[in-house]
Amino acid sequence: MKLLRYGPKGQEKPGLVDADGVMRDLSSVVDDIAGDVLGDASLARLRGIDASTLPRLPDGARIGACVGRVGKMVCIGLNYADHAAESNLPIPTEPVVFNKWTSAIVGANDDVEIPRGSTKTDWEVELGVVIGKACKNVEAADALDYVAGYCVVNDVSEREWQIERGGQWDKGKGFDTFGPIGPWLVTRDEVPDPQQLGLWLEVDGHRYQNGNTRTMIFNVAEVVAYLSRCMSLQPGDVISTGTPPGVGLGIKPTPVYLKAGQTMRLGIDGLGEQRQRTVQAE
């Protein structure tokens, strides 16, 4: 099942994609794709709906972030060995954890703002994991039972603020618009193995990233279990699980960074595609 949220920013309504690829309105059934709606029982109820009876979305409707009321967005750094190598950093022995502020979250096709004075804004296609029920201190063997589904994430990053401005990654990762998620939340029953997903990213038609989740250092179950030891996880929390090689920072001999007026296009097998235009922040 593919769930979505649509409408103006801050006024999104719930929806789904039916078997024919038609986007339908779910607001007569649930108030949002958030909280308890992400639990197993609620998702099972939604699967039982005859989607053809639901209204079609209006033509041209904006697709918002696929999850509402996100409590926290937790990210894993350097989770692909070849990305760690291109960043000139050692392969982690434990997951590298940082945060994106929830104010960074936007829709899959919303504009991405280049911060004032930035010359090192970068891209990172990542697999997003959405928590469906609360968990704490879970074992890796059970961790995927707590996942509602998966989505595409662009972990946009400002490298100067991330690396050169005092060493706290959160600063370079959390600018407004730096967390596009969606377009869909694809429920876990449609993703039998999250470690067999191709993911890719292009800028202005040039493919920079082309990887697969099978090369993660710490797989999804291990990441969820590890984080549940550091913090409790609640329904609607989003985990971004790291990026494969091909980021602008790693291009040799000269890194390549984003500037206003470019187009990023990215996607993951079965989870849909994103397309963002870069604009200069005011």
- The answer to whether the CB of 209 falls within 8 A of the CB of 200 is yes
The confidence score (pLDDT) of residue 116 equals 97
The confidence score (pLDDT) of residue 87 equals 81
Query: pLDDT tens digit string along 75-119?
Result: 999 999 888 888 887 889 999 999 999 999 999 999 999 999 999
Query: pLDDT tens digit string along 189-239?
Result: 999 999 999 999 999 999 999 999 999 999 999 999 999 999 999 999 999
CATH 1.10.10.10: does it fit domain 69-280?
no
pLDDT over 90 (residue 245):
yes
Report d(CA 142, CA 15) in Å as an integer: 29
Domain boundaries, the chain: 69-280
E strand residue ranges, 115-205: 121-122, 125-131, 147-154, 157-158, 179-180, 185-187, 198-203
